[in-house]
Amino acid sequence: MSIQEARSEAPQNTPIRILHLSDLHVGPNDDPTSLLQPLVADLRDKNEWLGVERLDYLVISGDITNRASPEEFEKAYAFVSGLIDEFGLTAERCIIVPGNHDLDWNTPAYRYLPKREVYTGKLAPGTFVEAGPGFIVRDDAKYPERFKNFSEHFYHRLTLKPYPLDPEEQCIPSLFCDDGLLFLAMNSAWEIDEHFQERSSISEKALARGLATANRELARAQAEGRLAKDAPVLRLAVWHHPITGNEKIQADAFMGRLRQAGVRLCLHGHVHEERAEFLNYLDPQRGLHVIGGGSFGAPTHARPESVPRLYNLLELRRDLQHVQVHTRCRRKQGGAWDGWAVWPGESPQIRCTYYGVKL
């Protein structure tokens, strides 16, 4: 029996399982097996109420490496491909977006020009920096190549598709008719570079193209009978940077576009701590749940005080009306993963390692 046939015959009481990893920060000296084995052991541990034998989707919301070097992406690829093999995944069911650590800072994306050769009135804001007797000016032809290592040494190897370097194409929809899920994978680091390191955003052009493509794919699936016209579809969006709190995306108007498009669940990383928020709560029909994945691999000095390594396992009910989010933690380097009991329970004295979201 094929994996696809096995999925189609999954019992209706078996949830759709989405493993959400973020901020792996894989370095050149990391051992993929040492990353993989404790994670597999935790997911399969029935005593921890998980007992996962198969995953349906893997979401990685950025910062896969530390410095976007080919060596780091090689290690990350070995880890992720091992995860795919262990849990019966396929590459197409891996939803992956880059983070600010996945762009190559060594790419010559700027060039120095003397002031006599530069008329700043013709340059877009944020494309140049004054430097002594001249300007450092962005090279628009080379600028997208900051993500070339991510594409060639990780994304392409894993998915057999190149990652689009054109920022306008970096909102990638993926429709899964059998489960009724539609993912939108977006690059919130598309305009970050060494001179503008905090400039996270979602490209307006990319979002417009991605939403239009998603609508066409939905219509085609319905016309071809792969998806019933009245079948529910849960829309999820994935990117790297948070939309609330510290280090948030400042230009957050795109969230209104996502709500209007019916997106109900957003997954992100970057802040290295757990996040669970509900936006637009006054309109329950267009409320948007935002889930932060914490950091799977950031070292102690790069995480908030007393916050361990984290990851999430989402268990989505097959009627797409409810998701349970299990938050797992690794308190010590080299130790086992365990439940992260921080979520409110039935009384103020009780803290749980999971929480539920009604969609």
Structural domains of the chain, ranges and CATH numbers in brackets: 15-107+142-358 (3.60.21.10), 108-141 (no CATH)
From the DSSP assignment, how many helices (H) and strands (E) are in the chain?
Answer: 7, 18
Rounded distance, CA 303 to CA 309, Å?
Answer: 8
Could you list the pLDDT tens digit for every one of the 359 residues in the chain?
333 444 445 566 899 999 999 999 999 999 999 999 999 999 999 987 799 999 999 999 999 999 999 999 999 999 999 999 999 999 999 999 999 999 999 999 999 999 999 998 999 999 999 999 999 999 999 999 999 999 999 999 999 999 999 999 999 999 999 999 999 999 999 999 999 999 999 999 999 999 999 999 999 999 999 999 999 999 999 999 999 998 999 999 999 999 999 999 999 999 999 999 998 766 767 889 999 999 999 888 778 777 899 999 999 999 999 999 999 999 998 999 999 999 998 888 899 999 999 99
Other CB atoms within 10 A of residue 13 CB: 7
Rounded distance, CA 219 to CA 96, Å?
Answer: 24
User: What is the CA 11 to chain-centroid distance, rounded?
Assistant: 28
pLDDT at 37: 98
Rounded distance, CA 265 to CA 291, Å?
Answer: 8
SS3 helix, strand, coil % of the chain, rounded to 5?
30, 25, 45
Rounded distance, CA 55 to CA 289, Å?
Answer: 22
Segment (H or E) for 209: helix 204-223
pLDDT at 281: 64
pLDDT at 3: 38
Q: Between the CA of residue 280 and those of 7, 26, 259, 277, what are the distances in Å?
A: 34, 35, 9, 10
Q: Which residues pair with 47 in a beta bridge?
A: none
pLDDT at 11: 60
Best CA proximity match to 146, nearest among 189, 188, 104, 202: 104
Rounded distance, CA 132 to CA 265, Å?
Answer: 47
The residues, ordered by sequence, that sit 6+ positions from 55 with a Cβ below 8 Å of its Cβ are 17, 18, 19, 43, 87, 88, 89
pTM of the model: 0.94
